[in-house]
Amino acid sequence: MQRDSVEAALAKIDRSKPFRQSERMRRFLRFVVEKVLDGDSEALKEYTVGMAVFDRPADFDPRIDSIVRVEARRLRRKLNEYYETDGKSDFVRIHLQEGTYAPTFLTGMAPALPAPAKPDPNAPHIIIGDAYQLLLEGRHFANRMTPAHLRRSIECFQRAIHLDPNFAAAYAAVGGSILQLALFGNISPSVVMTDAGLMIYRALKLNPDLAAGHLWRGFLNAVLQWNWEEAEVDYERALELNPSLVQARLYYAATVMNPQGRFLEARAHLGAAALLDPASVMLSAATGMTEYFSGDHEAALGHYRRAIELNSSFYGAHRLMAYALLSLGRGEDALVALEQAEPLAGGDPRLLAAQGYVHGRLGHVEQATRILDSLVALSADSYVSAYDRALIHLGLGQHDEACRLLVEATAEHEPWLIMLRVDPIFEPLRGLPQYLDLVGRILPPEKK
């Protein structure tokens, strides 16, 4: 086929609706097309594409970093969309078949695609019995969902790794517990991000088809790195590998769907998870958050109460309950819920910040200011998130200072920032340019 014909077809694709707002897709397609036109199809390997198109470093490992495969799937979808719309009548077609990065050039209608070949399974790893027992013990502690229990779970998982250095599931479990520690207020998320990322990398290096590895990489991408497309691909891959993985459904709903207001999808995953594990504490909490963010605060309260019934030490549910009570105009009950959590929280600054926020909303300026001052003093010796201080300023009606601190919290990779668009507590900020800029930096554009 004449080069001019292909280049004209490529130029038309570049200008089309599916492609004109996606510079990365245009760059990817142009690179692979030009390589084939130059007679260099053999160079179109995953490693080469990753470096040339996606600016990956020389030590890029395609087995661990799935960027090229992810974007190739997107490119194929966009090409299909183009040929179903703007390019329906195109005589010259650019076709990118599954399993290759070298396009072919066709005239007339595109042929049906063959089913993709399935990869050969990896040789099984024989797990040492004592290491597996430690994995189960660690999961028991992790399910209690307090900082103390998460740290105990990490100890168990690390002992399992000491017994069996090739135990991929144990590395993933360490990464998961470290990541969940970031949800509390007494550890820096930026430290968590580095440590957890290393554990997840090791897990997937040992077993690229480990569902839990993809689950926790999805969590990392969504909650701390705000890489939304990559997060969604990892969660989908985790569920493809293990459809019964409750945590994958739970955190997919909680960390990708809820922040984007995709509540119907979130409820579908949470409902499926409830059939698999109706006694999951985090499932009750996540379901409560879905109801709270979507405006059903009474329903949210029921789920938070259920979480506390299942695990009386899970003080995070008290904090969530306080916000729902406040939204229902029950501010004094919100303070009671937070006071009940105090003996369990061990001075967690996140719980103190919630108390300061509620006091501020209720007009208790002196109490809110006193808590704020205590957090500032505490930050001289230990970690206190700028997000938590921002909440108290928000409760006091000091919106500019709240926005300033929320911006500061982005440098810390504060996980709760992903709820900026849907959490009712941020309603007073929603007309401010600083808030809109912040949302644009963290979350993907809203779908119309």
**DSSP secondary structure letters along 78-139:** HHHHHHHTTTTT-SEEEE--TT-S--EEEESSPPPPPPPPPPPPPPPPPPPHHHHHHHHHHH
With bands split at pLDDT 50, 70 and 90, how would you rate the model's confidence at 126?
low
pLDDT exceeds cutoff 80 at 44: yes
Any idea how long the chain is? 448
Please, are residues 258 and 290 in contact by the beta-carbon 8 Å criterion? yes
CA distance 399 to 190: 25
The amino acid that residue 273 corresponds to is A
With bands split at pLDDT 50, 70 and 90, how would you rate the model's confidence at 117?
very low
Average predicted confidence (pLDDT) for the chain: 88
Averaged pLDDT for residues 150-157: 92
**Given this model, what pLDDT does residue 1 score?**
47
Structure tokens at 378: 């505490």
**Given this model, what pLDDT does residue 326 score?**
96
**Given this model, what pLDDT does residue 108 score?**
44
pLDDT exceeds cutoff 70 at 116: no
With bands split at pLDDT 50, 70 and 90, how would you rate the model's confidence at 8?
confident
With bands split at pLDDT 50, 70 and 90, how would you rate the model's confidence at 134?
very high
pLDDT exceeds cutoff 70 at 124: no
Chain-centroid distance, C-alpha 162: 29
CA distance 384 to 388: 7
With bands split at pLDDT 50, 70 and 90, how would you rate the model's confidence at 227?
very high
Q: Please compute, for residue 184, the number of CA atoms within 13 A of its CA located in the half-sphere on the CB side.
A: 23
